[in-house]
Chain A
Amino acid sequence: MIENRPILNMVSHAVLIFGVIIVALPIWITFVAATHDPVRMTQAPIPMLPGGYFWENFKQTLFGGGLSGTESAPVWRMLLNSLMMALMISFGKIAISLLSAFAIVYFKFPFRMGFFWLIFITLMLPVEVRILPTFEVVADLGMLNSYWGLSIPLIASATATFMFRQVFLTIPDEMLESARIDGAGPLRFFWDILIPLSRTNIAALFVILFIYGWNQYLWPLLITTETDMTTIVMSIKQMLEAAEQSPQWNIIMMTALLAMIPPVFVVVAMQRLFVQGLTETDK
């Protein structure tokens, strides 16, 4: 809509600015809290301007023992764990759903549609529903307290399979036929043609899945008992309840701040591909 009305412009800007403030205020408070010393954070009113303890808090959080008086792992270790888990989940999900979508779209085998619907109905069984049997299986396989245990049960993805199926269906049949005449076998076709053509969709999905993996809370909480394997999202919650002392807000907020960085980085880095992947229809 192209209009030239100054008042309307001002109103719409005011609405947008108001929205930004609502969204940004908690993040600002998090940042401010991460820059003060522990004592200041227990006094009312809470500060609204940054203090001078940013680097001290940063160092203590990232490399020190985190909260004083507890035995949690340093935050860099938790970040690493979270990163490993999120990456394994997103790469695993993408790889498996690409392959299963490839099989469902391009190969004729008995009960093809049956398999598709079988995959599809697992949408109705998220981790939370099947958490106890899954725990049992993972425990029996000896995967507790390992990256495999953290990621493998979350890897199968009906949503991604379905999405790639739709993407593959939009690729004209002639592409396959022309590849066959060029002498490309199925895997060659998959690798040389299908993957590059679904590049933007893969990127979009990666962003969504990375954040999904990064934000996992319940599952890591259940299967990690060693402090070395805790992920950052669950540890923030644990810090609040840690020991018998008042919460050390400066450290907790610094941890939260650090926990935000990787997802933000992924979104910013993949933004262009992400938008293309969700909007592009031209093949």
Chain B
Amino acid sequence: MASITMKDLVKAYGDVEVLHHVEGEIEDGELIVIVGPSGCGKSTLLRMVAGLETITSGEISIGDKVVNNLEPADRDIAMVFQNYALYPHMSVRENMAYGLKIRKISKDEIDQRVREAADILEIGQYLDRKPRQLSGGQRQRVAMGRAIVRNPQVFLFDEPLSNLDAKLRVQMRLEIRKLQQRLGVTSIYVTHDQVEAMTLGDRLMVLNGGYVEQFGTPIELYDRPATLFVAGFIGSPSMNFLPATATNGLLTLGNGASVTGANHANGAITLGIRPEHLVHDENGPIKISVQMFEQLGANTLMHGVLDGTDNDIVASMPGHVTAGEGSVMSFSVEASNLHVFDATSGKRIEE
């Protein structure tokens, strides 16, 4: 078991820098999710930890050992790939045993470790099959089994669930979480799915365009997003953004209505409100002209625009709401649920 430290990590291809001075400290036994849109550099970062990509500058240490120049095999890691990368000509058993065989571990011990891992993952009856005879979910388990038998210090997951169907994904997500907690192995998990990120991670690292936008617990990211990007990325449906002007804490919206914020910002700002924090209130200051409703069963998504402007806005209302398309509805928001961002830099303005 080990911690991972990333110090001032830079990756560049020629002159093009794709990761900019990434800093991060991952504690022993933690599961960190690196999340971001495609092309943000999250896989590159993971592959740098794995040793599959060279490090342009900066330092990665696993435990207290700097691993910059170590081969992947010498870093004591195991990786689960997006397409599983199982060896198609080997049986499940051979796939799992291959790494151990190369490490010249005795046959008895390999057998025992493979059996243990197969028991944990419930793939005992498939051990003699070839990967192509397995379903997607089973292959996924084999790929994890291959990681487990190695008994590594660090697990690396590169979007391991993206090839599964939605239902299986939810199930495997839970299993990965349980497994990781049970084995207590430090893990880094890369995904572009924010729900997966929220539910899995002890902490989340949000990457955008090669920059770390925020690194914190899921609830921190949800309650106090540091930038507009994080605010829009975390949470579903995503946060509403309304341009507004602030004068000593009083936030005036585009249609002249104003709400009282919890801070003392001044000037042009972007106001962020989560759909689930808009409360239907006859006397509320925020008037929305309703365009349509989306029924989700447990709640209803109301799509509209801020009355008198063309700022799109979504509100999540409890229960079934059907009537009211074309009308104007009023909403209020608690001051603590207002997120105020600088209009130009996109940074959060703290209370």
Contact = CB atoms under 8 A, between A and B. Distances in A.
Interface in A125-184: 172, 174-175, 177-184
Contact of A283 (B72, B77, B88): B88
A196 B88 CA distance: 9
B83 A182 contact: no
Interface in A185-223: 188, 192-193, 196-197, 199
A197 B88 CA distance: 8
Contacts, number: 56
B211 interface: no
Contact of B99 (A172, A181, A282): A181
B19 interface: no
A57 B12 CA distance: 76
A196 B94 CA distance: 13
B52 A180 contact: yes
Contact of A177 (B81, B99, B102): B81
Interface string B82-118: 1101011110000000110011000000000000000
B145 to A, nearest CB: 13
Contacts of A182: 73, 98-99, 102
A182 B103 CA distance: 8
A183 B79 contact: no
A181 B77 contact: yes
Interface string A229-250: 0000000000000000000000
B25 interface: no
Contacts of A177: 50, 52, 72, 79, 81, 85
Contacts of A180: 51-52, 71-73
A174 B85 contact: yes
B205 interface: no
B72 A193 contact: no
Interface residues of A, number: 19
Nearest to A195: B89
Contacts of A199: 89
A164 B50 CA distance: 29
Interface string B111-130: 00000000000000000000
A183 B89 contact: no
17 contacts: A172-B83, A174-B82, A174-B83, A177-B79, A178-B79, A178-B85, A178-B87, A181-B72, A181-B73, A181-B78, A181-B79, A182-B98, A182-B99, A183-B73, A183-B74, A193-B87, A197-B89
Contacts of B72: 177, 180-181
Contacts of B77: 181
A161 to B, nearest CB: 22
Chain B interface size, as a band, is 20 to 34
Interface of B: 50-52, 71-74, 77-79, 81-83, 85, 87-90, 98-99, 102-103, 132
Contacts of B74: 183
B85 A172 contact: yes
Contacts of A183: 73-74, 99, 102-103
Interface centre among A172, A181, A184, A282 (most CB of B within 10 A): A181
Contacts of B132: 282
A164 B237 CA distance: 50
B52 to A, nearest CB: 5
A174 B81 contact: yes
Given A183-B99, A183-B102, A178 B81 contact: yes
Nearest to B84: A174
Nearest to A180: B72
A193 B86 CA distance: 11
Chain A facing B: main interface SS: helix
A22 to B, nearest CB: 42
Interface centre among A172, A174, A184, A282 (most CB of B within 10 A): A174
Nearest to A175: B85
Contacts of A179: 87
Contacts of A192: 98
A194 B71 CA distance: 20
Contacts of B98: 182, 184, 192
A128 B85 CA distance: 45
A89 to B, nearest CB: 27
B53 to A, nearest CB: 10
Given A177-B52, A180-B52, A181-B73, A188 B102 contact: yes
A178 B90 CA distance: 14
A247 B79 CA distance: 72
Contacts of B71: 180
Nearest to A181: B72
A193 B83 CA distance: 17
Contacts of A197: 88-89
A115 to B, nearest CB: 23
A183 B78 CA distance: 11
Contact of A196 (B85, B89, B99): B89
A188 B73 CA distance: 13
A7 to B, nearest CB: 43
B59 to A, nearest CB: 21
A180 B98 CA distance: 11
Interface string A95-138: 00000000000000000000000000000000000000000000
B140 to A, nearest CB: 14
Given A180-B71, A188-B102, 11 more contacts: A172-B83, A174-B81, A174-B82, A174-B83, A177-B79, A177-B81, A178-B79, A180-B52, A181-B78, A182-B73, A192-B98
A181 B150 CA distance: 10
Contacts of B81: 174, 177-178
Contacts of A175: 85, 87
B72 to A, nearest CB: 5
Contacts of B87: 175, 178-179, 193
